[in-house]
Every structure is written in structure tokens, then in C-alpha cells.
Amino acid sequence: QQQVKQSPQSLIVQKGGISIINCAYENTAFDYFPWYQQFPGKGPALLIAIRPDVSEKKEGRFTISFNKSAKQFSLHIMDSQPGDSATYFCAASSKTGANNLFFGTGTRLTVIP
């Protein structure tokens, strides 16, 4: 069973537009929600992360919005650039176990110049 559900599977955005990727989870024990960016042939790189005590976190053009009651969180990429074209993964983990991350299935973002 997929612990973290991610949508859309692919996304095409014009340069300068806003890219929005959504994730949902069921396990209320999750207390850490990172987003990863992966370019072809490279390992995923940690982009931004949030904990459930805040509803939003912003780093540059990247913002995570977190809705604890709905058990949803999303990544917003403002002023999207062609260099942002990559696959994005959301994930979640809890203090139980070995800090294992449960990943979404990924979103392939293409930013058109």
C-alpha cells in the first residue's frame, strides 16, 4: 500500500509559471515531510522539508504548504525555470523505526521556455 500518494505524475509549465505538486498521506505518526529533486542519472537531492508544527515553509522560489487536518502537503515552485525541469518526489517519515522515508511515486516536471 502506497503510504504517500503523489500527483500529478507529470506536469508541463510555461517558464515563469507556478508549478504545483500535491501529496497526501494517511499515517498520522509522520512528522517530517521532505521534497527531493532528481535530475536524470543523479541521486535525489533534498530540496526543502517541513515539520507539522508549521503550515508553510519557503526557501527562495520553493514553498511547502502543509495541511495537517487534511493530511496533505504540496510543493509550489514560483517563477518556474527550464532548469527546474526534473523529477520531484515527496516523502514522509516518523520517529518509529529507522527513520525510513516513504516516498511518493514522483512527478516529472517540464518547464517550457
Partner 1 sequence: SQTIHQWPATLVQPVGSPLSLECTVEGTSNPNLYWYRQAAGRGLQLLFYSVGIGQISSEVPQNLSASRPQDRQFILSSKKLLLSDSGFYLCAWTLAGGTYEQYFGPGTRLTVT
What does the per-residue mask of binding to partner 1 show for 67-96, with x meaning CB under 8 A? ----------------------x---xxx-
Q: Does 31 bind partner 1 (CB under 8 A)?
A: yes
What is the C-alpha separation between 89 and 17, in angstroms, rounded? Answer: 20
Query: Using CB under 8 A, which of 50, 103, 109, 111 touches partner 1?
Result: 103
The alpha-carbon radius of gyration of the chain (Å, integer) is: 14
First to last CA, the chain: 38
Contact present, 53 and 4 (Cβ < 8 Å) = no
SS3 13: strand
What does the per-residue mask of binding to partner 1 show for 35-54, with x meaning CB under 8 A? -x----xxxxxx--x-----
Residues that bind partner 1 (CB under 8 A): 31-32, 34, 36, 41-46, 49, 89, 93-95, 98-101, 103-106
